[in-house]
Chains A and B, each alone.
Chain A
Amino acid sequence: MKVEATATGKNVHPLLKVENLVKRYTKRSLAGTPEELLALDSVSFTISPGTTLAVVGESGSGKSTLANCLACLESPTSGNIWFEGKDIVKLEERACRQVRRQIQLIFQDPASSLNPRWSAFEVLVEPLILQRKFNREEIKKRVNYWLGRVGLSQDIVGRSPMELSGGQRQRLAIARALTLEPKLLILDEALSALDCSVQAQIANLLMELQGSLGMTYLFITHDLAMAAHFADEIAVMDRGRIVEQGPPNKIFIQPEQETTRRLLAAVPRIGRGDQSALER
């Protein structure tokens, strides 16, 4: 595999390399020609291990489709996704299941990503049970470890996810994904449903986990400020394409594209009277 120079300046094998990814949806109606929607229009990027790439864009720009394609939950129309040097696009179902464990997706709304009929414990052990590698003792040990790691107390395990707060639910979802020890964690607007203080707590938790476990994140958001706080590199998406890509500093100081400027203008600023930033 080719060695690529990434934004962090280290020469390493990329963990994930996406080449000319295209996803096209066709809407068939009874009369007339089928309508086509190009959700992803030849998207290419790479992520090095242990770094964070933030994908920012307005809603409808194809961010979530990208997340689903990368997590093997949808198959792209064309293009390649190289994960640890393997092309995961054309894998058959059985092999796909193996890859899916390595790439975990955290959803925007933790209320819907946790089965409301189950208890927090059942939710948490589901990935471990599906692996069929662990006995009861080991499962309990792992669950307790990850609960502690994401800062949840152990007495929540008997409750239903519906009885937990938004922050607790998202921590639970993250803990559940981490029990599989994935190499890549995709956070699809994972923080946007939470209020500010909880957002900051979970962002710090994720950064701390990255430091200690060497996690790689693909952080999908519409919030440029959060992306800048978090990411080593930012990719800006607009209507299915990556229009601009670079380190946060560059994106913030010298945005080249209109889309980026619009997103920057939307970032709320506190305590500054001048409007120049918005008019830039």
Chain B
Amino acid sequence: MSNLRYIILLLFIFLFNHSVHSHHAFTAEFDANAPINITGKVVKVEWINPHAWVHVEVKQDSKKTIWMVEGGTPNTLIRNGLTKNSVKPGTVINVRGYQSKGKLCLPRCIANGRDITFPDGRKVFMGSSGTGAPRDGSDPRER
């Protein structure tokens, strides 16, 4: 019978582990009720694992705000048709996504990117599938 107690203990470890895993990156850090739609000039690209970051400078009236937009891994982005060179600094892009839970924008605003639209109208999905982000149609593979 004492073996049963250990099996229950092990189950607990696995259950806890599961709850950590289902705590998706999206809901832990971003607000599904705060969609953003920004247009601006790329000022910096961090083409890095496990998430790339595109820094976009948004001008509103005379105020400049830097948005740090999170994308998928370099691998996912290349599969989606986005390379380090297609978002070179200076490129003007429109980004749709969701803002982080913290909204103070100090020193920068942070968002999870869903898709990028280029001036020629080309649209690229920049997130990762299955992260728990809202199903807003920006991910072409999502059903």
A and B assemble together: no
Interface residues of A (CB under 8 A from B): none
